[in-house]
Amino acid sequence: MNISDIISDSIKYPSSNWGKVLILGVICIASILIVPIFLVYGYVFRIIKATLAGMDELPEFDEIGEMFVDGLKILVVGIVYAIPVWIIATIIGLITGTGMGTTTTSLDPTMMWAVLGSSIVFIIVALIVGLVEIMAIVNMAYYNGELGAAFRFSEILDRIAQIGWGKYIATYIVIAVIGFIAFLIGWLTMLILIGFILLPLIIVPYITMFSSRAIALLFASTEEAIE
């Protein structure tokens, strides 16, 4: 599938069952209690698994225990992949002194350029790690929730190579832009109060379903290439 096909399919995907969008919206709102957020993660995982299995319908909200465990697995993957980013941030902070409360206004020009350069490096590394992490979660779903599959780095990088870094990044940017526009609409409608209902109950779950479907379809396109 090309990018336009993936985005078109993913945009229509949540609208196949608005009742399930509302259910996920309620769970998103309940996530202020922390525990329900794992059900959100678990449902994202379930969407990815269903998409990889060739299903075009939104999955059910059944087997809550399994969905919760899948959400915990995503948290574990997120923490592990965040470790190198934290390490790099700490090293940059120690080298530049920015981690000790120093601001760029108190730095000499050379140090300011060093801080700027290291910040750019940090952002690039964080983005790359983030992109690999997303595909790692999909790879875990591909292996039916096997946690170790999220850390088979050579396999994950091969998948990304099959997709093409350019196509992957372009798809991710399109997803991000659509998500930003949707959130912007939600925030703007808050001015007339309806946004307080629209944003958490409709827009957040819709974008969650849309982006999960898009990433899974992108991964599945590598299977098509292999076939």
Q: Residue 97: its pLDDT value, please?
A: 66
Q: In this structure, is the dihedral angle defined by the CA atoms of residues 97, 103, 107 and 109, taken in order, positive or negative?
A: positive
Q: What is the pLDDT of residue 189?
A: 74
| Rounded-to-integer distance, Cα 17 and Cα 44, Å | 15
If you write DSSP's letter for every residue of 28-42 in order, what string do you get? HHHGGGSTTHHHHHH
Q: Which pLDDT score, from 0 to 100, does residue 191 have?
A: 67
**Domain limits of the chain?**
3-226
Greatest pairwise CA separation for the chain in angstroms: 59
Question: Rounded CA gap, 64 and 62, in Å?
Answer: 5
| Tokens representing residue 174 in the block | 């399109």
Determine the pLDDT at residue 227: 40
Residues constituting the chain: 227
Q: Do 180 and 151 meet the contact criterion of CB atoms below 8 Å apart?
A: no
pLDDT attached to residue 224:
55
- Using CA atoms, how far apart are residues 118 and 89, in angstroms rounded to an integer? 9
Here the tokens at position 95 are 């080298």
Q: For residue 59, which phi and psi values (nearest 5 degrees)?
A: -70, 165
The backbone region for 103, taken as left when phi is positive above 0, alpha when psi lies in -120 to 50, beta otherwise, is beta
Residue 30 in tokens:
């309940």
Rounded Cα–Cα distance for residues 199 and 165 (Å): 32
> Tokens 């678990």 identify what position?
42
Q: Which residues of 43-70 are buried (b: 16+ CB within 10 A; e: fewer)?
A: bbbbbbbbbbeeeeebbebeeeeebbeb
**pLDDT given for residue 1 in this prediction:** 80
pTM of the model: 0.88
Report which secondary-structure segment, H or E, holds 127.
Answer: helix 109-142
**In the chain, which residues have pLDDT < 50?**
100-105, 225-227
pLDDT at position 195: 64
